[in-house]
Amino acid sequence: MIVLRPILITALAVLTANGQPASSNPTLHQANSVPPSSCQVTVRPAHPFTPPTPYEVDATAFWWGTEKLWTFVDESAIWRWSRHKPGHEHEVQPLTAKLFWMSVNYHWQAEPYPSLTVTGKRLDGSAPPLLVQPANNAFPGPGAAMVIGVYVPTPGCWEITGDYKGEKLSFVVWVEPIKSTG
């Protein structure tokens, strides 16, 4: 089972992302989309973080952080966004993204509902606060992860920050509206 764990983690992350509507899947960005130069999105560093085994990430993303707290960031750093329907402005659904966070200090048996908080701040203008779901255990076992769903209330340049037991990690993404095809 330990040999299959990395494959299972990668497959589940891909399936989770692909099973989401386009509006809630940060990895399904539109072709030819490029963040504006005014939004300094997080890019793959020259020497990206390498987590302990059994964690793996696919070629469209990279690990970001330290062993105390890390996540993966999509290479494009673009998230797709759709407006809430009238009367549903304070609901987290539809998700803009599901964020997976890992830490060598996270033990899913002792903490099935992790003490992870995620906040967001729009960097290029004012915006209501990021809406988040409670953190949950994403993968039990040696490749344990924490997951939290977020809804970004407006398009723009956003800094997303995770905080797990005082260890903070931030990254910047460009959030753009879904363009209609009709």
- Reported as a single tens digit per residue, the pLDDT across 49-104 is 999 888 887 788 999 999 999 999 999 999 988 776 777 666 666 778 899 999 99
CATH assignment of 5-28+52-176, among 3.40.50.2020, 3.40.50.2300, 2.60.40.10, 2.30.29.30: 2.60.40.10
What DSSP line would sit under 129-169, residue for residue?
PPEEPPPEEEE-STT-EEEEEEE-SSSEEEEEEEEETTEEE
Q: Check residues 71 and 9 and name the one with the higher pLDDT.
A: 71
> How confident is the model over 29-39, as pLDDT tens digits?
444 589 999 99
* Residue spans per domain, the chain: 5-28+52-176
Q: Is 87 left (phi over 0), alpha (psi -120 to 50) or beta?
A: left
Q: Which two tokens stand for residue 149?
A: 């769903």
Residues contacting residue 157 through CB under 8 Å, at least 6 positions apart: 35, 36, 38, 39, 40, 41, 122, 123, 124, 172, 173, 174, 175
Q: Which two tokens stand for residue 99?
A: 């964020």
Q: Which amino acid is at 38?
A: S
Q: Which two tokens stand for residue 180?
A: 């209609």
The predicted model scores a pTM of 0.78
